[in-house]
Amino acid sequence: MAVELSFCVVNTDQRELLLRCLDAIAAEREQLDFETEVLVLDNASRDGSATAARRHALAPEVIALQRRRGKGENDTALLKRATGRYALLLNEDTELRPGAVATLRKALEDDQRAAAAGARLLRPDGTPQPSAWRFPSPTTALIGALFLHKRFTVQSRGSKTRRVDWAQSAALLVRTDAAREIEWFDPAFFVYSDEVDFCRRLRDAGWRTLYVPAAEVVHHEQLSTGPVPARRIVELSRNRDRYMRKHHSAGAAAAVRVLTAWAYAVRSIAALALPGHDPRRYWRHVTATLRPDRGEGLREAAIEHNRGRRL
């Protein structure tokens, strides 16, 4: 029987979260009436993740890298390896809730011009997490500078499936033929803005992206709360600027840098009086946003990691 859907999981040094992700996939597979496969790409982890994945009851196909790579490049590798008509991209820090897979697939089956469907992401306490937005532009940056982004930029609202500009790739069902048509993810985006660029190129090719709130996925956000936050801030800033320069003018990119830096500067000042907020972290966003060509990000961290593995 032909494979209908490929589960595609990228993992980086998160063995316990990966195993929970695979447990949730196993529970979902039992409820599906179509053929699936499970692919795990281990991003040169040092915590035994690849071995643990191979020993899991799912017996997934494990691609164990010897050199750490970026998220977009790894998602592309999985999409190319997948044999299903659909590929469900998952971070290792996600847990599918019952019925999520069938619901996402039905959304794409019902809309033949939709190439991607994003799930409703939930924090571990069950509260919703923003997971779909309008494409970045000077207008959305101005909205952010006026602190109206939750109302006008965030699109993951409501209880019905709706069209959105882009959805987070932590749990994103992709039509593999459409991904092939636009030549996959752009490897220039090491991490952050990779799915924004992907959904933008899908739209430019005549496809749509959907937000499907009935499909729920718990997202532990290890990438957002893990170590070396300064490097994550640098990577976030440089790839936001890369997206703007790729899809807009140099002037538009400059406007977004200034407006975004302003919003973070205001947050930094407010954080001086607000308990539980770190003004220094907001100020790191200001400096990284204004000079995205400076500093070391996650790409440099991966280079250091790879050098260490050769010692």
Q: Where do the DSSP E strands lie in the chain?
A: 5-11, 36-42, 61-64, 86-91, 94-96, 114-122, 128-129, 132-133, 162-164, 166-167, 171-175, 208-219
Q: Is residue 252 classed exposed, middle or buried when 0-12, 13-18 and 19+ CB atoms within 10 A define those classes?
A: middle
The predicted-structure confidence for 2-54, as pLDDT tens digits, reads as follows: 999 999 999 999 999 999 999 999 999 999 999 999 999 999 999 999 999 99
| pLDDT-based confidence at residue 135 (cuts at 50, 70, 90) | very high
CA atoms within 13 A on the CB side of 68: 21
Section 80-91 average pLDDT: 98
pLDDT above 70 coverage of the chain, percent: 97
Which residue type occupies 124? P
What pLDDT score was predicted for residue 227? 43
Top-tier CATH class for 5-224: alpha beta
Section 122-147 average pLDDT: 97
Which ranges in the chain are annotated with CATH 3.90.550.10?
5-224
How many CB atoms are located within 10 Å of the residue 70 CB? 23
CA distances from 111 to 103, 155, 156 (A): 13, 19, 18
Distance between CA atoms of residues 99 and 110, nearest Å = 17
Ramachandran bin of 41, using left for φ above 0, alpha for ψ from -120 to 50, beta for the remaining angles = beta
pLDDT greater than 70 at residue 92: yes
What pLDDT score was predicted for residue 222? 57
Distance between CA atoms of residues 42 and 30, nearest Å = 24
pLDDT, averaged across the chain: 95
Q: pTM of the entire structure?
A: 0.94
Which residue type occupies 130? P
What pLDDT score was predicted for residue 310? 54
C-beta separation of 211 from 168 below 8 A:
no
| String of DSSP letters for 239-252 | HHHHHHHHHS-HHH
What pLDDT score was predicted for residue 223? 44
The predicted-structure confidence for 152-180, as pLDDT tens digits, reads as follows: 999 999 999 999 999 999 999 999 999 99
